[in-house]
Structure 1
Amino acid sequence: MSTNDVTLGAKAGGKQTTMNQKRWTGLPYWLHGWVLPVIILALWEAASALGLVSDSALPAPSRIAEAFWKLCLNGDMAKHLSTSAIRAGGGFLLGGATGLLLGVFTGLGKWAESTLDPSIQMLRTVPLLAVIPLFILWFGVGEFSKILLIALGSFFPLYFHTHLGVRTADRKLYEVTRILQYSKLQLLTKLIIPAALPNILLGIRLSVGASWLLLAVAEMMGASAGVGYMIQDARVYAQTDIVFVGIILFALVGKLSDSAVRLVERRCLRWDNNYKG
């Protein structure tokens, strides 16, 4: 059997699998991930309607949707969400850019790796929640301390995966660049960055997720706006429905940002023919 026969057979098998999945479920493949959440929401709503769960502890999805709509109408939703997006974006850009540059730097040279990487790996094991008191003492509870905390959490995933991607580039390609007499800039832009790109994009996905996780923590220490502050304020006044609105917002925005990075990943890595399942 030739390679072309195997390739054509694999493509036909993939199409047949997709058709079978759509035939059995009656839904397009991209909707399969929504089946379980819809079932959970339906059961949750039914349990609330039948009085099986406490409305104050676990409000019905319809009540949470009503609270979300009210926040949108009075403008609080736009204010909190825009404030959180600026903080998360600023922290991610600061920490991600630093992690990317240091990851390339330590990955390229043995001296840089032996000098800097052990200290960075040691700092990576320190729980970020443990440094919050120091951040408050050093920088107060203003915007700078919040962005710096988010940047610190975003730094390590991108640094680690960038360093790994640079160090695992194929050694044979380096020999080819020597024969072609590439300059250091050409070596960086035409070999190192493309070879490390899958790892870099994975690091970006993890850093984006870390920035949203730490945003919730940062906004609960002396903030006056933001989704985390909205959750904290609602907890004080026992507004459980608004607490759920904030949690769902974190989940949705985190998922959207992750999907955006995955879209960039698919477009940038069209040449990558690794097995995808």
Structure 2
Amino acid sequence: MSTTSVDLARPASGARPRLPALPRLRVGPRVLSPLALLALWQLASSAGVLPERLLASPATVAATAVTLTADGTLGAAVAVSLQRAVIGFLIGAAAGLALALLAGLSRPGEHVLDPPMQMLRALPLFGLIPLFILWFGIGETPKVVLVAFGVLFPIYLNTYSGIRGVDARLAELGQVLRLGRTALIRHIVLPGALPQTLVGLRQSLGVAWLALIVAEQINASSGLGFLINDAREFLRIDVVVLGLLVYAVLGLATDALVRLLERRALSWRRGLLGT
């Protein structure tokens, strides 16, 4: 072996081999404003501007969260509420997508389905609660139905609008390429409507959690709503605030999942838009 190859293979005397750099944990800018609000909230509570009897401090809420998590109360309530939200969301999203495809892809479907859908979406969602209780009783069904009914319309409206808003020039391109109706829908119409559908998905998730909060305030024996109602009876402001914060965190988490799905499903737009 030559001297040159030996020199290349061995590090110089006194020099230490470099270890690969560890990845740095970066806190995104989206986290800064919530942390600032928490700090201001704690400062206002410590200074007596926000009395504990009106709004519990973040430290008190955190201690309550630790206690309720340790005894299993919080975990059980979150599991029940999450189950209701998931079932209602799946039912409402499936119905909204199916109705939007039927109304958006055919003129007869539009004439039959769109007018009653526009009428129903004008109804006050929470005004239907007494009717749902009369129809389905006071068990789990009215809660799930209320969530599904709230999810239905954002999905339907945005998907229907996305289908109808596909650029006509793309349809002409499909005709030039001699695509059949099925191929045209699959390769042009549905991908063109996908961005608007994902917008509807994000909106429907917000409505789902809002509907669940209201539904769980009525004749619930489990879940986050029951936990909040029970705490209200005993003037436990810390538990009420904790329950509301958990609702908010669940909403943010589901929205983040949809945003991740959106980034992956619409990755082709990054190069097109120069982002």
Give the TM-score band, short-chain normalised. 0.7 to 0.9
2:207 to 206, 210, 220: 210
- How far is 1:188 from its partner? 2.4
Q: Indicate whether 1:72 and 2:80 are aligned.
A: no
2:126 to 129, 149, 156: 129
Structure 1 distance, partners of 2:181, 2:78, is: 43
Query: Paired residue for 2:36?
Result: 39
Amino acid at match of 2:234: Y
Amino acid at match of 1:67: T
User: Which digits, 9 at most, give the CA deviation of each residue in 1:5-33, with x for residues without a partner?
Assistant: xxxxxxxxxxxxxxxxxxxxxx96x5322
Structure 1 distance, partners of 2:273, 2:56, is: 44
Residues 170-209 of structure 1: pairs in structure 2 closer than 5 A: 170-209=167-206
User: Which digits, 9 at most, give the CA deviation of each residue in 1:110-139, with x for residues without a partner?
Assistant: 221122211111111111111111000111
Query: Paired residue for 2:243?
Result: 246
Between 81-90 and 35-44, report the one with greater CA deviation: 35-44
TM-score (norm 2): 0.86
Amino acid at match of 2:255: D
Structure 1 distance, partners of 2:46, 2:170, is: 64
Q: Which runs of 4+ in 1 moved over 6 A?
A: none
Structure 2 distance, partners of 1:53, 1:235, is: 18
Structure 1 distance, partners of 2:90, 2:44, is: 43
1:220 to 210, 217, 220: 217
Larger Rg: 2
Query: Paired residue for 1:15?
Result: none
Query: Paired residue for 1:51?
Result: 48
Q: 3-state DSSP class of the match of 2:268?
A: coil
Q: Indicate whether 1:138 and 2:138 are aligned.
A: no
Structure 1 distance, partners of 2:113, 2:43, is: 56
Number of matched residues?
A: 250
Between 74-83 and 187-196, report the one with greater CA deviation: 187-196
Give the gaps of 5 or more residues in structure 1. 1-26
Identity value in percent = 40
Query: Paired residue for 2:233?
Result: 236
Give the gaps of 5 or more residues in structure 2. 1-24
Query: Paired residue for 1:261?
Result: 258
Structure 1 distance, partners of 2:40, 2:152, is: 40
Is the alpha carbon distance of 1:105 and 1:276 closer, same or farther for their aligned partners in structure 2, counting shifts above 3 Å?
farther
Structure 2 distance, partners of 1:72, 1:86, is: 18
User: Which digits, 9 at most, give the CA deviation of each residue in 1:121-163, with x for residues without a partner?
Assistant: 1111111111111000111111111111100000000000000
Structure 2 distance, partners of 1:146, 1:67, is: 27
Amino acid at match of 2:167: D
TM-score (norm 1): 0.85
Is the alpha carbon distance of 1:276 and 1:238 closer, same or farther for their aligned partners in structure 2, counting shifts above 3 Å?
farther
Is the alpha carbon distance of 1:74 and 1:177 closer, same or farther for their aligned partners in structure 2, counting shifts above 3 Å?
same
Is the alpha carbon distance of 1:214 and 1:163 closer, same or farther for their aligned partners in structure 2, counting shifts above 3 Å?
same
Query: Paired residue for 1:160?
Result: 157
User: Which digits, 9 at most, give the CA deviation of each residue in 1:37-65, with x for residues without a partner?
Assistant: 22222232223223333212111110000
Amino acid at match of 1:36: S
Amino acid at match of 1:228: G
Query: Paired residue for 2:144?
Result: 147
Q: Indicate whether 1:61 and 2:66 are aligned.
A: no
